[in-house]
Structure 1
Amino acid sequence: MNPNRTTIIMIVLSITVLSVISAGCTMIGQQSPASPPATPDAAPAPDCPALVFTDREFAFELQRTLGASYSGEADIGECLATASRIREGDFESWYSEWNRTADNFRAAGDGSLAAGHRVTAMEAYYRAATYYRTAEFFLHGNPADPRIVETWGKSRESFRDALALDVVPYEIVAIPYENTTLPGYFYMVDDSGKLRPLLIIQTGFDGCQEELHPYAMEGIRRGYNVLTFEGPGQGEMIRVRHIPFRYDWENVIGPVVDYAVSRPDVDENRIALWGISLGGYLAPRGAAYEPRIAALIADGGTYDVGQTLLANLREGGGANLTEIELQEWLQTDPIEFNDAIREVMARDTGTRWLNENGMFVFNAGSPARFWAKWTEFSLVGVAEEIRCPTLVCAGAADHFDPDGAQATALYDHLTCERELMVFSDDYGAGSHCQLGAFAQSFGAKFDWLDDTMGMTGSRPGEE
């Protein structure tokens, strides 16, 4: 297939629209009637309110960092003061100011520890870890930039220094995977070694597992041991080991569960899996091939990247290509496609970030090669194989999934016991993965998990 110029323009425009939706913020319509709301319906509201930034991508990432305040791993005043010094849409300014803030609180933590104030040091280290992670976020346009590994490393070091001062028992673990290992943290309710249900939590397209710590602590409070990990394309695996994403995530989840059941403190009959952001595709993909998963949370649910792209293309009047035809053409690395995408990247922050990060985590040398690999992420013919009870989550103002189309498609193709939970934006929970509204998010999702896993009625920390 060799698309003509009109088709190429339509494909680029469709991808640009999808890029802006996926990486920025948007106003959406009413919730789908098929989507049962988690809270009462309300008039639609724009995601990512402009507290400081009018740039949509910067506004959302600020909201994401502010959300860590819920668990004490950021502070509102520190975040707003840092953001006020950043130039709109300027990736270098973003890095410099967040890195400066992180350095400040890293040093403050060191000073507190030297003076014997362990709790104050721990809290400062957790916040520094968040701010270093935020600083590194937009650096991926040049994969060889030494600040990527340096800043990520400072974030992980600060996080681990905080963990060492905390009271929750944990282990830094290495999970056997093919010819290497996957990095992970195993958090325990206590150090008794008692057999307990396990919650496995994983991140998605742009996260590191240290960002999952608030989720893990909520699980601990409810009586679960918790395992987090990073797979190909994530965290250490891409930054240090240069192992890119793969669509067939069953080859990742299988070894993770193998490791879990090898532990004497894991109840192998009660293992839950929670995938966040792109993890809303990755975790269902793994669960479809892994019968040892007893409960699944797809947060937010993702069904098929290529189908969304094609739908945008057809609505825009583009050629009636099949998904395979589009993928095959992108694999030829067409110059005209790459030039058009880069032109949009130069003027739109969201499109720039999505494609730069996509090329980074997929180890792809061009936008076309990134999109060719991205369109492989599909649960068509796979979702029906999931057997465990499944919670599919969506936000009424989710910029990754307008109108909950992806979440609803996943829900509709499930044949297992299932629930679709759509969060309204009445009190700010309608954003992607309910970032910035963790109290509502954790309450609803953990209640479902507790009911499914037989944890209801337990006292905190007990089964």
Structure 2
Amino acid sequence: MGLFFADPLFERFAMRALSHALYGGADFGECFVTASQIAPGDVDSWFRAWTATADRLVQIAESSAADGHAVSAREAWLRASNYYRTSWLPLVGAPVDPRLVEAFDREAEAFARAAALMTPAVEAVEIPYEGTSLPGYFHRADDSCQPRPLLIATNGYDATVHEAHFAHAVAAVRRGYHCLSFDGPGQGRPLIHQGLVFRPDWEAVVRPVVDYALSRPDVDPQRIALIGWSFGGYLAPRAASGEHRLAACIADPGQWDLLEALRLLLPLPPAVRERLPEIAPADLEAVEAQMRSSPSLHWTVRRALWVHGLDSFADYIRIAGKYSLRGRAERIRCPTLVAWADGDPIARFAEQLHDALQCPRTLVRFTAAEGAGGHCEETARSLFHQRAYDWLEAVFASPGAAHPCR
């Protein structure tokens, strides 16, 4: 039995919502009361409960704003944004549920209202990208207009630019860094409204983001770092392998090769496992039967197919090998921090990434004994930020490290 649910999938989603209380994204009581209204395993009641809580907070925010209480309005809109995002998580997949689109739009609106009331104001930006644009938020450390170090934050499979506020930006701004969060192909608005799906060459995504950053006079061009969490633990180092204007890279957790991870995790006969990525429908019968009986596994696969624009699990296996840092890790030139956490299955290959790096490298371990086990140190983000951002401060302070190779 978890803190909220016996169902591991619902427990995972609820804990993720609660984890953002640290930086103003949730309240304990709101999460517990919302969870109490959800029937076990019932996606519809999950959506209704979290949406109702978010709707109630929007009413509080609007009333507070009308009465001139900007801080109260901002805080309520921030929590509402997180709860709207939480409401649509079980709905991910294609065809896209209209409720997901509506909840995502409400998430985005609530965050935009909160951002306008932050001090300094958090600026919504559009980053030019291959004939369209990617949405981002520029979180300023101050209003001095003086060049400051910048942390660019990239997400993974299901986080959004709004959630990045809690995951990365608040802690960065407190330390005097600007933070530019964005959603790329396969994420947030680019996926839901623009139909853009993931691509393995993330350097092609980050390059225009760096171009945008360098167009701003308030960014120190010699001190730009990139952080990626969850699947971003592949995307960030992949981007750093081809974008050499970065002064530092953080992979949370470090990843190595998606196909290798599938080969290790899937319950396949040894002969079939060795043939991957070549796969026949009959080879997947046992795996697909397991998916049907496991809500968590079923959700994970449905999400993967959606964000990659694929029709079948066999297709996912066939493209997985493209998401690899083999032959790429050694191209990273900037100092790189690789995170590893107890109990995080996608951190399994963090040491392999660390060992393959030929740049200045640091492996940082987070343990269950210190409350930091689990995916992306979700229940100990302040500890993650202390270790990762203190490392980043040292990198930025080093004259040699702060001038990346061109």
Matches within 5 A, 1:66-215: 66-214=18-166, 215=168
Aligned residue pairs total 398
- Measured after TM superposition, the shift of residue 192 of structure 1 is 2.3
Runs of 5+ unmatched residues, structure 1 = 1-48, 457-463
The corresponding residue for 1:232 is 185
Amino acid at match of 1:448: W
Query: What residue number does 2:205 align with?
Result: 252
Cα offset, 1:388, TM superposition: 0.7
Point out which structure has higher relative CO (alpha carbons under 8 A, 6+ apart).
1
Does the Cα contact within 8 Å between 1:109 and 1:122 map onto a contact in 2? yes
- C-alpha distance in 2 between matches for 1:316 and 1:328: 13
User: Which letter maps to 1:298?
Assistant: A
Gapped regions of structure 2 (runs ≥ 5): 400-406
Deviation of residue 454 (structure 1)? 1.0
Label 1:165 to 1:78 Cα distance change in 2 as closer, same or farther (>3 A). same
Q: Any idea what SS the aligned residue of 2:61 has?
A: helix
Amino acid at match of 2:88: E
Change (3 A) 1:427 1:419: same
Question: Are 1:327 and 2:327 matched, yes or no?
Answer: no
Query: Does the residue aligned with 1:426 lie in a helix, a strand or coil?
Result: helix
Distance 1:282 1:112 in 2: 40
Percent of paired sites with the same residue: 42
Q: Work out the CA distance in 1 between the residues paired with 2:288 and 2:104.
A: 26
* Aligned match for 2:354, one of 411, 414, 424: 411
Query: What is the one-letter code of the residue matched to 1:372?
Result: R
Q: Tell me by how many angstroms 1:153 deviates.
A: 0.4
Counterparts of 1:161 and 1:362 in 2: how far apart (Å)? 31
1:391 alignment counterpart = 337
Structure 2 CA distance for partners of 1:98 and 1:50, relative to 1, 3 Å = same
Instruction: Tell me, in whole angstroms, the C-alpha distance in 1 between the residues paired with 2:334 and 2:223.
Output: 11
1:380 to 314, 326, 329: 326
Q: CA RMSD in A?
A: 1.9
Task: Provide Cα deviations, 1:335-356, integer angstroms capped at 9, x if missing partner.
Answer: 4456655433332111111011
Paired residue for 1:364, among 310, 329, 348?
Answer: 310
**C-alpha deviation, 1:390, in angstroms:** 0.6
C-alpha distance after superposition, 1:340-380 (max 9, x if no partner):
55433332111111011111111112222233333421101
Q: Is the 8 A contact 1:169 1:189 kept in 2?
A: no
Which shifted more, 372-381 or 228-237?
Answer: 372-381
Aligned to 1:39: none
Separation in 2, partners of 1:106, 1:337: 49
**TM norm structure 1:** 0.82
Residue 439 of structure 1 and its aligned partner are, at CA, apart by: 1.7
SS of the aligned residue for 2:153 comes to strand
Provide, for residues 225-261 of structure 1, a one-character-per-residue CA deviation record: whole Å limited to 9, x for no partner: 1111111000000000010001111111111111111
For 1:266 and 1:455, the matched residues in 2 are separated by: 18
**For each residue in 1:38-85, what CA deviation from the matched residue of structure 2 results, as whole angstroms up to 9, or x when unmatched?**
xxxxxxxxxxx7112111122122111111100111001110111122
State the match for 1:55 in structure 2: 7
Could you say which residue in structure 2 is the equivalent of 1:22?
none
Pick from 359, 363, 366 the counterpart of residue 420 of structure 1. 363
In the other structure, the counterpart of 1:42 is none
Q: Distance in 2 between matches of 1:352 and 1:442?
A: 32
TM-score of the aligned structures, taking structure 2 as reference length: 0.93
Q: What is the CA-CA distance between 1:328 and the residue it aligns to?
A: 3.8
Q: 1:450 aligns to what?
A: 393
Could you tell me how far apart the structure 2 residues matched to 1:328 and 1:254 are? 33
Aligned to 1:355: 301
Corresponding residue for residue 301 of structure 1? 254
Whole-angstrom distance in 1 between the partners of 2:182 and 2:337: 21
Q: Which position in structure 1 is the counterpart of 2:403?
A: none
- Counterpart of 1:252 in 2: which secondary structure? helix
Post-superposition offset of 1:438: 1.7
Q: CA deviation at 1:189?
A: 1.5
